[in-house]
A = this chain, B = another copy of it.
Amino acid sequence: MAEQKENKDTLGLNVKKDENFSEWYTQVIQKADLADYSAVSGCIVFKPNSYSIWEKIKSIVDERLKEMGVKNAYFPLFIPEKLLMKEAKHMEGFSPEVAWVTESGSKLDERLAVRPTSETIMYDSYSRWIRSWRDLPLKINQWNNVVRWEFKHAVPFLRTREFLWNEGHTVFATKEESEKEAKEILDMYYDVLQDYLALYGIKGKKTENEKFAGAEYTTAIELLMPNGRAIQGPDAHVDGQNFAKAFDIKYLDKDGKLQYAWQNTWAITTRMIGVLIAVHGDDRGAVLPPKIAPVQAVIVPILFEKTKDTVLKKAREIKESLKDFSVLFDDRDECTSGWKFNEWEMKGVPLRIEVGPRDLEKNQVVLVRRDNGQKEFADIKGLNKKVSEVLDRIQNDMFEKSKSMTLKNTVDAADMKGLKKAIGSGKMADAVWCKSAECEAAVKEKTEGAKIICIPLEEPKKKGKCVCCGKSSDTHVLIAKSY
C-alpha cells in the first residue's frame, strides 16, 4: 500500500488552473499521459491518449470532406528551394522558419525545405494536371506532418516545431465558387468544433497584416483560452489567383480561352488537442467531451473480499450491455477504487460507472459525471439509454460552459483606456477599428502585445468610434493577446 499511496500523491495536480494556468497546463499534459518531451528540441511525442483524440478529429473531418467531394492524396515531404521561392510573399512568410535538408551521403545540389505547408510542391503538380474546365474543380486534401522551426518557447500541442494537420488545396474556375467553398469549409470546421469538441469559437476574417502569406484573405475560427489569450483554430484561406499566377495554373474555359484558376487552402491542426485540454480541463485533470473521448465511460467495480466475484461478474455484464459506447472496464487488482477514480478523472473520461455490492442489491449503479462531479443512481435495467442521455447532457453542458466562458471574458472597449484595462485584466476586447494599418500597429504597441485577432464575420455592422484614433467606423474587431 505504501507504493500506491506515494503514486497517488504524485498523480494529482499540485497547482490550480486559476492560479497558474501555464503550469497547470503543463502538469495536465504530463499527468494525463497525453504528450512527452522528446530528444528533439521543440518537438513532442503524441502519446496514445492524445493521438487517439487526433484520430477521432481526423475521422470526423475526413468523413465531412469526402461528403464534400474532396479526395485525399499525398505529396512529398520535401520542397526544392527554388519551388518554395516562387510566390514571393509566401516565401517571405515561411522562409525564416524552414528546416533545410542539405546533405545525405554527400552535399545536395539544392537545399530541400522540410514542408512548412505544401502549396508550392502541390501547385507545381497542379500546373501540369489542370488543362481545361473539365479538370475543375480539383479538390485535394492531405493529412500529414509539417515543420516550422520557430524559436518561441514550445508548448505541447499549442506550439511545436512539428505538428500534424490536414491541408486542403482546392482549385476552381471562378472566384465565386472558391469563396463559396471557403465558407462551407469554415462552417464545417465550426460545426466539428461545436458538435464534437464542445468548443465555442468565433468565425472571423484576418486583417491584411495577419493574413496567410500568399492569400488574398484569410478566414479562421478564433478561440479564447482560459488565460485570456486568443488562439487561432482551423482556417480557410481564399488565395485568389496569387498562386495560380506564380505557378502558371491555367485552364481552357468553355469558350476556349486560357484563364488563371482560383484557389483555396484550409487546415485543422493538432493544436486543437491543446485547446480542448486547456478549455475543458479542471483542477483534477483533463475533461474530454463524450463525442471525442476515446473512452466515453469507465466502469469501476467496488471490491470487498466477500462480494468481489459477484461484483466483477455483474460489472462485466454491464460492460457487455453498453455496446453503443466506448467503455473501459477497469478490473485491475493492484489498484484501489480511489486510485482508479483519480486516474480516470485525470485522463478526462466523461462518465464513471461505479458498481458496488450494496447498489447491486438494489439493481442500480452510480453514475458520476466528470465535467461537474454530479452523482446519480441509475437502474441497471435501461442503463444503455440512460448513459446515452447523460453523455448527451455532458456534451451540451460542456459546450455551453465554453461559450459562456468566452462571452464572459469578452468585454467592450470604447477607447484605448478601456482597451488597456480589458487586456490588462486578461480579457478579450470587442472594439471598433478604422481599418488603418497605423491604428492596428498602435493597438499592438499600446497594449504591450495584444493584437487584432479578427473581424468577426457575424458581428452586426454597428457604427462606432475607432478604439485608437476615434474615427467613425462600422468595423468591429476582437483584440487580445494571443498564442
Chain A residues packing against B (C-beta within 8 Å): 36, 38-40, 43-48, 51-52, 54-55, 71-80, 83, 96-105, 112, 114, 121, 124-125, 128-129, 134, 140, 144-145, 147, 149, 151, 162, 164, 334
Contacts and interface: CB of A to CB of B under 8 A. Distances in A.
A44 B112 CA distance: 15
Contacts of A43: 76-78
A40 B101 contact: no
Given A39-B83, A104-B99, A134-B334, A76 B151 contact: no
14 contacts: A36-B129, A39-B79, A39-B80, A40-B79, A43-B76, A45-B74, A46-B75, A48-B73, A51-B73, A52-B71, A52-B72, A98-B104, A100-B104, A145-B145
A39 B145 contact: no
B46 A73 contact: yes
A52 B73 CA distance: 8
A359 to B, nearest CB: 30
Given A40-B80, A76-B162, 17 more contacts: A38-B75, A38-B76, A39-B80, A39-B124, A43-B76, A45-B74, A45-B75, A46-B75, A54-B74, A77-B114, A77-B145, A77-B162, A96-B105, A100-B102, A101-B114, A104-B149, A105-B151
Nearest to A102: B102
Contact of A145 (B54, B101, B144): B144
A328 to B, nearest CB: 13
Contacts of A162: 76-78
Contacts of A55: 72
Nearest to A76: B43
Q: Is the interface of A mostly helix, strand, loop or mixed?
A: mixed
Contacts of A80: 39-40
A152 to B, nearest CB: 13
A345 to B, nearest CB: 20
Contacts of A46: 73-75
Contacts of A73: 45-48, 51
Contacts of A98: 104
A22 B83 CA distance: 30
A463 to B, nearest CB: 45
A361 to B, nearest CB: 34
B78 A40 contact: yes
A121 B52 contact: no
A311 to B, nearest CB: 23
Contact of A125 (B38, B99, B112, B149): B38
Most buried by B among A71, A76, A102, A334: A76
Nearest to A160: B76
A147 B77 contact: yes
Nearest to A70: B48
A98 B108 CA distance: 12
A40 to B, nearest CB: 5
Contacts of A121: 38-40
A240 B128 CA distance: 49
A116 to B, nearest CB: 10
Most buried by B among A40, A51, A114, A144: A40
Most buried by B among A44, A52, A55, A101: A101
A267 B178 CA distance: 40
A246 to B, nearest CB: 14
Contacts of A75: 38, 45-46
Contact of A76 (B40, B71, B96): B40
Contacts of A44: 76
A409 B340 CA distance: 59
A129 B38 CA distance: 12
A122 to B, nearest CB: 8
Contacts of A36: 125, 128-129
Contacts of A164: 74
Contacts of A114: 77, 101, 114
Contacts of A99: 78, 101, 103-104, 112
